[in-house]
Chains A and B, each alone.
Chain A
Amino acid sequence: MIHEHKIESPKEKQNRHKAMEAISMLEKLKHDFKEPPKAMDYFYNLYEDVHCKQKPLHADKVKVGTMCIQVPAEITHALDAVQIRLCNGFYTDDEIGSDLLPSKSCPLVKATVGQFASNNFSDKPDIIISPTTCDQKAKSGAIIEDMGFDIYDMEFPRTKESEESREYWRRSVRKFTKELSNNLGKKLTRKKLKESIKKIGYAQTLYHRLNSLRKNAHSPLLGVDMFLVTNAFFFDKIDAWIPAVEALASECEQRVKDGTDAARKISPRIVYTGSPPIFPNLKIPYLIEQSDAIIVADETCSSNRMFNDMVSVDEWFLYDMVDSVADRYLKGCTCPIFTKNDDRKRRIIDLVREYKADGVVYQAFAGCQVYEMEQRSVLEAMEKEGIPIIYLESDYSPSHLGQLTTRIEAFVESLKNRKRKAK
């Protein structure tokens, strides 16, 4: 019997590749560990809908795409638009971007540019905000603009201690607010911005409610699942994400009462830091937890950094609120693009203490220069504190996991030995 078949269009092919990547990771997360909380089903289904079925979530909304974490979502939401973070974790798109950028570029940047090059979005952004954070992202904005997309460069300072940088960034946020408001034809009101700050603040509170459960000796939730929850904030409807996380937090609270451990008693507790794990590139967190360790906290911009610091408002006047929003995105940021970054080291050490971690995994994308450069000073700081740390470099390629696995396993085993001796 001869099967008549037509050849896929480039878009169908790309979608199939991405669906295959997504389903492979979801299958692993669902089945390779102890039974996850029931409330995780919402997230598993969400990723399958968006990445395997290309289901749009915001068809009726104006969509503001962002190229980095620093774009204030409070402002976008207050202007009745949705904000979608376009930082991309797909190897399929990384391969497309590789043809357009130097070979030693960061895979996240290549994947993001690759997605624009193929112009294939389930929720296509109407305008793209490109904060001038790291060099590669800043330059990518211009490359994407050349492809015909509407880009707004949002200037971002590279130091954060000085009063000048604070003022520079506040001005940048005020300008962004004005431009976005004009672009969308919406007026920013005090009431709307206050509501928006409260809503995002509530999402952050929920994150902390869920995250603090991982401080328990028996963490109720795996790190890989937590990454799915936080990654979903990139693109999910906030009004759907909030009840889903409420349900998950309640279930995890019950799991804590029941003593349900997502890992085992001996499993070393890990703080994860470095280049952001973005679905479906959760391979390092997956390998860590497959090696019988558990990630109890992280310091990454695809998870903790999105929620850690909240807007702190003195006076609820419109312009005071805008400045307060700006401060949240500069002062709380621990990205290695800054000239010096003692905040980041302090935060990692704090997380290790608070979450009673046994060690730190520092992962940098090969090509992410700032994370690669900051590695040495973080390692030294950890050594000084007597905190075991391992540094890994990886990219989005699905093969060649053998060596990484061996290194991670050896690290986890050494932490287990310490744990046994210290008992």
Chain B
Amino acid sequence: MKYFAGIDIGSTAIKVALINENKELIGHKISASGSMFYKYAKQSLKDMLNELSIDTNDLVYTVSTGYGRKLFKEADENISEITANALGARAAAGDKCNIKTIINIGGQDSKAISLDEDGNVVNFAMNDRCAAGTGKFLDVVAMNLELEVDELGEYHFKSSGTPLAINSTCAVFAESEIIGLLGNDNSVEDIVAGVHYSIAKRIIKLVKRVGIKDSIYFDGGPALNQGLVHAIENELSKKIFIPEFPQITTSFGAAILAHESYQYERDVK
């Protein structure tokens, strides 16, 4: 059996996905990017193969993507995370949903991607400012509120008052807004809901730039936060599709491309 790997080197985490000849997801691994992307990425790939007891020689093609993709020299090819995300989302949703719009919230950026009927990228938009409304932002919020980031969803659904909006577009200023709200004895639940709605509104603006179509896919680590999912659905007034493993869509897409590239190289004379 031959295997194909996709490796997504992001600002916060390295995501590795492995597929087989039938394009089935065999395994994945998520580890922190740390300070030495290259070293950790190599280690992560090796660890995954070990865990799955797959011989390194059976891994025939590797595609890297993400912010640190060019630092990973072992890759046979590298592609932008936009293309990889689109490929991964279409494949992850499969027959369940014909994805036309993708929302991705990463560690340090957020994107909206619009696809045509056949899954080609027709337009995309990225946040052009800073960390506000990204995964990093949620980390900072959780830290300020003395919560774990995976508790944010629970708190969101416990909010019973008016969500308290965060108006600053800057993560640093937003932090002081949150501290101010806490100081005035507001409930943590209402602040969490407010943060989610503020991020949701910002992301919806991005989606509007590429055009809101039906069948919306949401991925990236923050898609694990059901409170944020709820806020985005309310802002869009639409249900959105959350994949089983929202963090690895892009690496999965890279693995799919690895498979396609390998076949192309082999078949085309």
Contact = CB atoms under 8 A, between A and B. Distances in A.
Interface of A: 1-3, 5, 7-8, 10, 13, 16, 19-24, 27, 30-31, 52, 398-399
Nearest to A1: B154
A7 B234 contact: yes
Contact of A27 (B154, B163, B186, B233): B186
Nearest to A2: B226
Interface in B174-222: 180-181, 183-184, 186, 194, 197
Contacts of A13: 234-235, 237
A8 B162 contact: no
B237 A7 contact: yes
B238 interface: yes
B194 A20 contact: yes
Interface string B152-185: 0110010000111101010000000000110110
Nearest to A18: B162
Given A5-B233, A22-B162, A27-B186, 19 more contacts: A1-B154, A3-B230, A5-B230, A7-B234, A7-B237, A7-B238, A10-B237, A13-B234, A13-B237, A16-B162, A16-B234, A19-B162, A20-B165, A20-B194, A23-B162, A23-B165, A31-B184, A52-B162, A398-B167
Contacts of A52: 162
B169 A21 contact: no
B162 A3 contact: no
Nearest first, the 6 closest Cβ-Cβ pairs linking A and B are A19-B162, A20-B165, A23-B162, A8-B234, A31-B184, A52-B162
B180 A7 contact: no
B239 interface: yes
Contacts of B234: 7-8, 13, 16
Contact of A7 (B157, B181, B239): B239
Contacts of A20: 162-165, 194, 197
6 contacts: A7-B237, A20-B163, A20-B165, A20-B194, A21-B165, A27-B181
A24 B167 contact: yes
Contacts of B181: 27
Nearest to B183: A31
Contacts of A399: 167, 169
A55 B84 CA distance: 50
Nearest to B164: A23
Interface centre among A13, A20, A22, A399 (most CB of B within 10 A): A20
A321 to B, nearest CB: 44
A23 B193 CA distance: 13
Nearest to A399: B169
Contact of B184 (A2, A3, A7, A30): A30
Chain A at the B interface: SS class:
helix
Contacts of B186: 27
A15 to B, nearest CB: 10
Nearest to B167: A398
A27 B234 CA distance: 24
A52 B233 CA distance: 21
Interface in B226-251: 226, 230, 233-235, 237-239
B220 to A, nearest CB: 19
A181 B261 CA distance: 80
A225 B163 CA distance: 23
Nearest to A10: B237
A30 B167 CA distance: 17
A3 B237 contact: no
Nearest to B165: A20
Interface in B101-159: 153-154, 157
A418 B158 CA distance: 53
A287 to B, nearest CB: 13
Contacts of B233: 5, 7
Nearest to B227: A3
Contacts of A1: 154
B198 to A, nearest CB: 9
A1 B169 CA distance: 31
A269 B76 CA distance: 69
B184 A16 contact: no
Nearest to B153: A3
A3 to B, nearest CB: 5
A3 B230 CA distance: 9
B226 A3 contact: yes
B43 to A, nearest CB: 33
Given A3-B230, A5-B230, A31-B184, A24 B237 contact: no
B237 to A, nearest CB: 6
A13 B163 CA distance: 12
Interface centre among A3, A13, A22, A52 (most CB of B within 10 A): A3
A1 B150 CA distance: 11
A116 to B, nearest CB: 20
Interface centre among B162, B183, B186 (most CB of A within 10 A): B162
A8 B238 CA distance: 9
Nearest to A9: B237
Contacts of B157: 3, 5
Contacts of B164: 20, 23-24, 27
A19 B194 CA distance: 11
A386 B146 CA distance: 54
A20 B234 CA distance: 14
B208 to A, nearest CB: 11
A23 B162 CA distance: 7
Contacts of B230: 3, 5
B105 to A, nearest CB: 19
A228 to B, nearest CB: 17
A115 to B, nearest CB: 19
A31 B180 contact: yes
A8 B233 CA distance: 8
Nearest to A15: B162
Nearest to B239: A7
A5 B184 CA distance: 30
